[in-house]
Amino acid sequence: MTEQPQNAEPSYEEARDRLIEVVRTLEQGGTSLAESLALWEQGEELAKVCQRALEGARARLDAALGEDRE
């Protein structure tokens, strides 16, 4: 696996997998309020990464389908 620079956005798969971990941790409980809030914020950012990736994929599919119709 290749390492990404610290500031690099994770791939869709990396963000999705980390988001699943965050959700599981929050559902299990046992974290302090501060930890839970930090996890929630991290989850929100990961969800945005996933949403951007899915929107990009949709745009590529729409463009490819549009080219096929011409």
- pLDDT classification of 7: cutoffs 50, 70, 90: confident
Please report the pLDDT score of residue 67 as a whole number.
76
Query: What does the pLDDT look like over 27-56, one tens digit per residue?
Result: 999 999 999 999 999 999 999 999 999 999
Give the closest residue to 14 by CA, choosing from 46, 62, 55: 46
Contact assessment for residue 43 and residue 19, using Cβ atoms and an 8 Å cutoff? yes
**Rounded distance between C-alpha atoms, residue 8 and residue 28, angstroms:** 29
